[in-house]
Amino acid sequence: MAVQTVAGNTTSSAPAVDLGPAAALSCRECGERFELGPLFACASCFGPLEVAYDLPTGSPEELRKRIEAGPDNIWRYAPLLPVPADVAEKPNINPGFTKLVKADNLARELGVTGGLYVKDDSGNPTHSFKDRVVAIAVEAARAFGFTTLSCSSTGNLAGAVGAAAARAGLRSCVFIPHDLEQGKVVMAAVYGGELVAIEGSYDDVNRFCSELIGDPLGEGWGFVNVNLRPYYGEGSKTLAYEICEQLGWRLPDQIVIPIASGSQLTKIDKGFQELIKLGLVEDRPYKIFGAQAEGCSPVSAAFKAGHDVVRPQKPNTIAKSLAIGNPADGPYVLDIARRTGGAVEDVTDEQVVDAIKLLARTEGIFGETAGGVTLGVTKKLIEAGAIDPTLTTVVLNTGDGLKTLDAVSATSQATATIKPSLDAFRAAGLVAG
């Protein structure tokens, strides 16, 4: 590819890696730019780094046609992602282009008249949205020559890394808190990589991984959500692209997004902004709402208190995939919710379970606890008048209920257990009247 020249404090030599339109890393805080590499913090101010692009310059119509002619996965958006142009031909789990379900039954139940949609990311290869971020991180790992793929995970990420490493022919070694759901543990282990359970919370696991990166023990390791985090994060932009394309190249008026580290929410906003800048969607206001479980609600607490800083919490909730007590992108989430006129709200574990069952009962979608958090918060914000029921609203279901069976198993069992006879069935009282 052509030699990229980037402004700022980078060396003048051509980048050694081809990550398509990605031009440099830039600091979110001070704007300083760095050459593409496995870096995640600004050398000057320690702010988080993100990918800066040379975005396509052609007409929006040309770009739209090019995207629509692309594969039915996230690589249709390759011109907007830090991946090489021939990415679709490389061994990758190829996630994305999941269903945007028009949820009319749910809309009726919630009194939404402006159009309610569920973006169902349980349809990804390892049944969560994490496949999007990992698919991009794999390409970065390949470009930087890492041979081991790793992560600290609340569960879904470990499975996605295991699967993606298997497909890409890389070694994997992933780290999880020791008390995760059985479905998440098995999904993380079955792909044949190393799975290490740490006696502690996710925040302990994350701290451990940061130490490992700085140690010779972790040399040559690509940690998707630490030293590859700037690339990893970009995968979440594809949710924004897909939702707009599936709505007919239109921004939703309102979107509700679950928050763990807050990365997904901030990158969906980045994706919307890019589509506006490229002229692919009309520039109209949209509101972004963040969803947390009450038992791990540091961002929601800061939002409600009017604070700019997020005070860490010790998580205690059934929504384990969202149980990050010290969310790295928390302050940026607060900025986005406030700038767009959205909000951050939380619900109890009981409301999470009710919302999982509501989604299943009305739309035939079995979401994991994170989906219950997001729909539960949506319902609460509609009732509070913060979400306008007359506008188009998108709710994310980011994971599959089969991985968090315990959340609903007590109340989802056989209606009756009977002998195989018509008399027994009649006696059970289930015959339609």
Ligand X SMILES: *Cc1c(COP(=O)(O)O)cnc(C)c1O
Which residue's CB is nearer to ligand X, number 107 or number 239?
239
Return the residue of 130, 142, 270, 380 that touches ligand X, per CB under 6 A: 130
Beta strands 22-27; 33-34: pairing state: antiparallel
Query: Hey, CA dihedral for 25, 224, 257, 47, is it positive or negative?
Result: negative
Rounded CA separation 111/103 (Å): 12
Site for ligand X contains 263 (CB under 6 A): yes
Interface mask (CB under 6 A) for ligand X, residues 393-432, using x and -?
-----xx---------------------------------
Which residue's CB is nearer to ligand X, number 188 or number 213?
188
Return the residue of 42, 110, 259, 358 that touches ligand X, per CB under 6 A: 259
Interface mask (CB under 6 A) for ligand X, residues 352-371, using x and -?
----------------x-x-
CB of 118 within 8 A of CB of 101?
A: yes
**Looking up tokens 């929601």, which residue turns up?**
300
CB of 154 to ligand X, least distance (A): 6
Site for ligand X contains 381 (CB under 6 A): no
Site for ligand X contains 262 (CB under 6 A): yes
- Considering only residues 137 through 156, tell me which ones interact with ligand X, judged by CB under 6 A: 156
Site for ligand X contains 128 (CB under 6 A): yes
Q: How far is CA 417 from CA 107, 405, 413, 421, in A?
A: 34, 20, 10, 11
Site for ligand X contains 136 (CB under 6 A): no
- Considering only residues 219 through 258, tell me which ones interact with ligand X, judged by CB under 6 A: 258
Rounded CA separation 315/297 (Å): 8
Buried b (16+ CB within 10 A) or exposed e, 264-301: bbbbbbbbbebbbebebbeeeebbbbbbbbbbbbbbbb
Which residue's CB is nearer to ligand X, number 142 or number 403?
403
CB of 370 to ligand X, least distance (A): 4
Tokens matching residue 198? 């740490």
Which residue's CB is nearer to ligand X, number 15 or number 175?
175
Which residue's CB is nearer to ligand X, number 116 or number 257?
257
Rounded CA separation 319/103 (Å): 23
Which residue's CB is nearer to ligand X, number 10 or number 122?
122
CB of 140 within 8 A of CB of 116?
A: no
Burial class (CB within 10 angstroms; exposed 0-12, middle 13-18, buried 19+) of 411 = exposed
Site for ligand X contains 300 (CB under 6 A): no
Positions in the binding site for ligand X (CB under 6 A): 128-130, 156, 258-264, 321-322, 368, 370, 398-399
